[in-house]
Structure 1
């Protein structure tokens, strides 16, 4: 009788499937998708920690804003967030909520398509590194620099997908440029000191669709 597959081979088999397929057929999550209590994972953000993540109003600290007591306080708050957390939640970022709604909507429409349609742009199995697998399907696309784009992997359906992703990517790139200047300002550096490094940086869009766990 054949023995169980090694973890890396088992992961390759699972990753070659789509979570949506397992959900449709009522399959229980395989062991490699399960993170048990006490296991160390890359995700240490419990709900209590998420609620404490610093919130920064970028409209108060953008390079074009005149310094006021409020902006100075917000800049100090940003400096503290960068040194203690390494991340923050941005508000006042200037990206209209309508664009965020559109990218969420078109992503959901893509993932709800028949499997045959989504498999037209399926990539090869990614490398397994031993961590529990994510109970989700995902679409990862390079959007900047523009010469890195592989349009063979950009979905043709929904028909609005490419235009909406293009618009969203432009807004995110602009926001990246603004935040790089804000970071420099918070660190008392020249506002352009990070810009040269970011000009050719790869900007990747990752769309995730999480499914309910099978009963």
Structure 2
């Protein structure tokens, strides 16, 4: 069974296939972002190295326990680098399927086994649950000795440069 990418599905249908739609009784009371009772927690990383570190650490702990996620400010990553990463990522996902499949996370030719790293979609654990309507590219950047450049895109050319701009260039 070869997996179909989200882009291939989306090009062929006007609405998501039934297996990608979560039935109302299955949604377990999940709220949309605009229905949330409070804003997503905002963590200031620069405060973690100041006298206010304990307060910010408590805020971080609470965010992880209640939300499971948080937004970060003052992380030190230049906006130009973030823009370059977003641009390279968009360019990667706009490529034809054949090009993206060169970075596939599938281990065997049959498409039944995959690994986390590489390009692909989420595995189906339970057919009764709604499937995730996404494709993703998961890559390890750190630690450097665990990078698997066979899963890194060769195109767009800017991809490796911007994601490794603060690191050593890949050796192949």
Provide the TM-score with structure 1 as the length reference: 0.58
Kindly report the root-mean-square deviation, in angstroms, between the aligned alpha carbons of the 2 structures. 2.7
- Distance in 1 (CA, whole Å) between partners of 2:86 and 2:31 is 23
- Distance in 1 (CA, whole Å) between partners of 2:77 and 2:45 is 11
2:24 to 28, 37, 50: 37
2:44–2:56 contact (8 Å) kept in structure 1: no
Moved over 4 A (4+): none
1:106–1:161 contact (8 Å) kept in structure 2: yes
In structure 2, the residue matched to 1:150 is: 148
2:48–2:57 contact (8 Å) kept in structure 1: no
Query: Structure 1 residues 95 and 45, CA, compared in 2 at 3 Å: closer, same or farther?
Result: farther
- Distance in 1 (CA, whole Å) between partners of 2:69 and 2:153 is 31
In structure 1, the residue matched to 2:170 is: none
2:153–2:159 contact (8 Å) kept in structure 1: yes
- Distance in 2 (CA, whole Å) between partners of 1:150 and 1:134 is 25
- Distance in 1 (CA, whole Å) between partners of 2:138 and 2:72 is 23
1:51: Cα distance to partner?
Answer: 5.0
- Distance in 1 (CA, whole Å) between partners of 2:41 and 2:14 is 39
- Distance in 1 (CA, whole Å) between partners of 2:12 and 2:142 is 37
In structure 2, the residue matched to 1:8 is: none
- Distance in 1 (CA, whole Å) between partners of 2:99 and 2:48 is 43
In structure 1, the residue matched to 2:125 is: 129
In structure 2, the residue matched to 1:97 is: 79
Query: Structure 1 residues 45 and 164, CA, compared in 2 at 3 Å: closer, same or farther?
Result: farther
Query: Structure 1 residues 62 and 80, CA, compared in 2 at 3 Å: closer, same or farther?
Result: closer
Q: Tell me which protein shows more helix as a share of its residues.
A: 1
Counting matched residue pairs gives: 147
Report which of the two structures shows the higher radius of gyration computed on alpha carbons. 1
2:10 to 19, 23, 27: 23
1:30: Cα distance to partner?
Answer: 2.0
- Distance in 2 (CA, whole Å) between partners of 1:53 and 1:138 is 23
Q: Which runs of 5+ in 1 are unaligned?
A: 1-11, 171-215
- Distance in 1 (CA, whole Å) between partners of 2:37 and 2:130 is 21
Q: Which runs of 5+ in 2 are unaligned?
A: 115-122, 168-172
1:161 to 154, 159, 162: 159
